[in-house]
Chain A
Amino acid sequence: MRTLRYLLEKEFKQIKRDRFLPRIIFLVPLMQLIILPFAANFEMRNINLGVIDNDHSVLSAQLVEKVVASGYFRLTNVSDSYDQGITSIESNESDLLLEIPVNFEQQLGREGAVEVLIAANAVNGTKGGMGSSYLSQIIQDFNQEKGFTSGLRSGGIRSTSLFNPHLNYKNYMVPGIMVFLLTIIGGFLSALNIVSEKEKGTIEQINVTPVPKTLFLLSKLIPFWIIGFILLTIGVIVAWIVYGLLPVGNIGIIYLFAAVYLIAFTGLGLAISSISSTQQQAMFTAFFFLIIFALLSGLFTPISSMPHWAQQITLFNPVRYFVEVMRMVYLKGSQFADLTGHFVVVCLFALFFNVLAVASYRKK
């Protein structure tokens, strides 16, 4: 016990003295938490719109005005023909084209229905897709406003967003990013820290002492558990101050999950450290997992919109579960009873990674 205390004392001294580590541990995550939610915003704004108005009527002008007034579009090009409009897309002047046919006003008045053409530049798929759906939504609204009912659409669909009524992406991103920070601290900084002792040869000097290997490794992991908790607390405070976000559910649940999750990822870090002999190798191995875990976690893109096989893969991604838990507790106020399934899975991951780590260290 005395030895462990002294080993820990040494670890914290080293982390404190490191010129780089304290910054990367505390400053970088803060920046991520403050900047990323603004950048990772899936709402499309400022879509460049080109209009081809073949009608030049009062009604067509009103429609264009309504589209621009929605705030999603910026009128950047007005063309006389479809071909001209396409040229403006090619020159990147517009992302989306709206062509209003001749006799738009007349036909609409007479028949109650008319077709307009929406063409989107699909090079940026999200922009094109979201843009055209926004645009059809607006046209539909316009129809209703003017009292034109176009057959099937007359009923209209009204959607309500539950738990995040304003569909604020920041509310959605911030809890997820906190998970990401814990992943980096637990899994990757711990691996780098152990490998650096290998690289400097100090592990050799430790190995000839009577210090048991488990105790030594424990002294390497405990600091990252502590740092992880400090970081989580900072994250919760930042979310509250900057985004006004407080968990609807019990914050204790988040800490409980974080504890198991950190144990799981330090286990992974340990396994990575045992197979790499330089920090560079550890870095690349960690990076490989990090990218896969991040993209398949549902943090940036909804899991439900992934192809079936990718959805199956996410079942083996521990990040996915904690991201879900965070969002459920933060936005929905889920209770522990709702999350027992998640808890079991995260515990299993913790067990699996640590068994893996022990096995790979045994082999040597």
Chain B
Amino acid sequence: MGINGVKIEAISKNYGLIEALQDISLDIHSGELFGLIGPDGAGKTTLFRILTTLLLADKGKATVCGLDVVRDYKKIRTMVGYMPGRFSLYQDLTVEENLNFFATVFNTTIAENYELVRDIYVQIEPFKKRKAGKLSGGMKQKLALSCALIHRPEVLFLDEPTTGVDPVSRVEFWDMLDRLKKQGITILVSTPYMDEASRCDRIALMRSGRCLSVDTPVGIRSSFGRHLWTVRASSMYKLLVDLRSFPGTYSCYAFGDAHHLTLKEDGREMDDLMQFLKGKGYTDVTIESVEPSVEDCFMAL
């Protein structure tokens, strides 16, 4: 772990009876682009709030840049940038005023760190006299990122930055993160979109407050132990029911426009399956082999 890493040791947090985080341990390296992947309610935001010193954990300890999140919270606040999931800049201030405001509260100026935010800020600069509340979703997100970066943080926390953003802007946003990573900033990003996982150096799959698996996207995909097939036919719902009733099926779920299928014993049972489907009266079934995605791995966990 380098200077700008984040270390999480056995963190737990309960809200009443709900266990939001259960014994989470992660080690995020300096300069890494680390993704927390999981559905809503997985505990991603809670973890971010603990790391950004907004919330106290019930158990366990965490350090950011080697500083304890409880004891050294004041120092941490000068070193991290946080972009909450909900847009929380001043809607009644203009783009420029917001950026200026956050620069000032961090005791710096726009000019001092313009270098770092230039790539992002130039895209919204034409609208700098517009009130933040009147910006489009994608522009709000760029402004929020600029404000989180204006004090040149060592670690950047981005909580679901691409939720509710169009696909093109999402790709652009990840390109921006790549450029920031080159500046040596450690980035923690959470997202419910599995397809974004491949843009991270390493990812942690989270569900119901637990960390299911931590690895590189490639590592996670190769840990998928079985051969994965896509199955298509004209009557997709009936096909799903029938595939699940096939005795040799290990797992089968709808995945976009096809069903993803794994078999208990790869290869040997494929012929049986063809016979089985023919017996059910299917004539137009196509079965193809496919590389497992992160989502497939998530489903398998």
**A-side interface residues toward B, CB under 8 Å?**
2-3, 6-7, 10, 13-14, 17-18, 200-202, 204-211
Contacts and interface: CB of A to CB of B under 8 A. Distances in A.
Interface in B82-103: 82, 84, 86-93, 97, 101-102
A201 B45 CA distance: 14
A3 B84 contact: no
A214 to B, nearest CB: 13
A204 B88 CA distance: 8
Chain B binding surface, main DSSP class: loop
Contacts of B101: 6, 10
B211 interface: no
Interface residues of B, number: 25
A13 B93 contact: yes
Contacts of A209: 77, 102, 105-106
Given A208-B53, A210-B106, A202 B82 contact: no
Interface of B: 52-54, 74, 77-78, 80, 82, 84, 86-93, 97, 101-102, 104-107, 147
A210 B90 contact: no
B53 A14 contact: no
Contacts, number: 58
For the complex of A and B, the 10 pairs showing the least CB-CB separation, nearest first, are A201-B88, A6-B104, A208-B82, A209-B105, A205-B88, A210-B78, A17-B92, A211-B105, A210-B77, A202-B88
Given A208-B53, A208-B54, A14 B90 contact: yes
A7 B97 CA distance: 12
A206 B105 contact: yes
B154 to A, nearest CB: 13
12 contacts: A6-B104, A13-B92, A13-B93, A14-B90, A200-B91, A201-B87, A201-B88, A202-B89, A207-B54, A208-B52, A209-B77, A209-B105
Given A208-B52, A208-B77, A209-B77, A202 B90 contact: yes
Given A201-B86, A205-B88, A14 B105 contact: no
A3 B52 contact: no
Nearest to B49: A204
Given A207-B54, A209-B77, A200 B88 contact: yes
Chain A binding surface, main DSSP class: helix
A3 B147 CA distance: 16
A154 to B, nearest CB: 74
**Most B CB within 10 A of own CB, among A2, A208, A211:** A208
A270 to B, nearest CB: 20
A201 B104 contact: no
Nearest to B97: A13
A201 to B, nearest CB: 4
B90 A10 contact: yes
B54 A204 contact: yes
A45 B88 CA distance: 57
Contacts of B74: 210
Given A204-B88, A208-B52, A210-B78, A14 B104 contact: no
Contacts of B88: 200-202, 204-205
A13 B147 CA distance: 19
Contacts of B54: 204, 207-208
Nearest to B54: A207
Contacts of A18: 92
B179 to A, nearest CB: 23
A305 B18 CA distance: 55
